[in-house]
Amino acid sequence: MLVLQVVPAGDLNAFKLLRARIREASTWVWGNKARTRLKHVQRPSGGYIAIADADGVLVAHVHPKTSSDLFYLAEKFTGRLIAWFEGQILAINIQFVPDPPPKRRRRR
């Protein structure tokens, strides 16, 4: 799994900046009613990006369907962040986190 952290400049909140900007975006749509999952319009079944707020820092977990979707979602998301918030962010950190083991079903 790929995890991106977006560190804002000053006292800004990167999570709120992104949520406000997605309303106007034509290439990203919300995947759930809570507006914490982003899906790309060109690949609606290619996975999603789960976003969360951590004291103003945007944390995005990329959940692809296939390995090619991982590159596609990461590329499109980081490209949009740079284009939209060039002067408002200090850093974009990328972390490669191993996938959690699949949950086992309980035997009865």
Structural domain contains residue 106: no
pLDDT (tens digit per residue) in 25-77: 889 999 899 889 999 999 988 999 999 999 999 999 999 998 889 999 999 99
Structural domain contains residue 101: no
Structural domain contains residue 107: no
Structural domain contains residue 51: yes
pTM above 0.75, yes or no: yes
pLDDT (tens digit per residue) in 11-23: 999 999 999 999 8
CATH code of the domain covering residue 58: 3.30.310
Structural contact between residues 1 and 63, judged by C-beta atoms closer than 8 angstroms: yes
Strand partners, 66: none
37-40, strands of its sheet edge to edge: 28-30, 37-40, 47-54, 57-64, 2-8, 89-96
Q: Number of folded domains in the chain?
A: 1
Structural domain contains residue 103: no
Structural domain contains residue 27: yes
Q: Which of 75, 80, 69 is nearest to 47 (CA)?
A: 69
67 lies in which domain range? 2-96
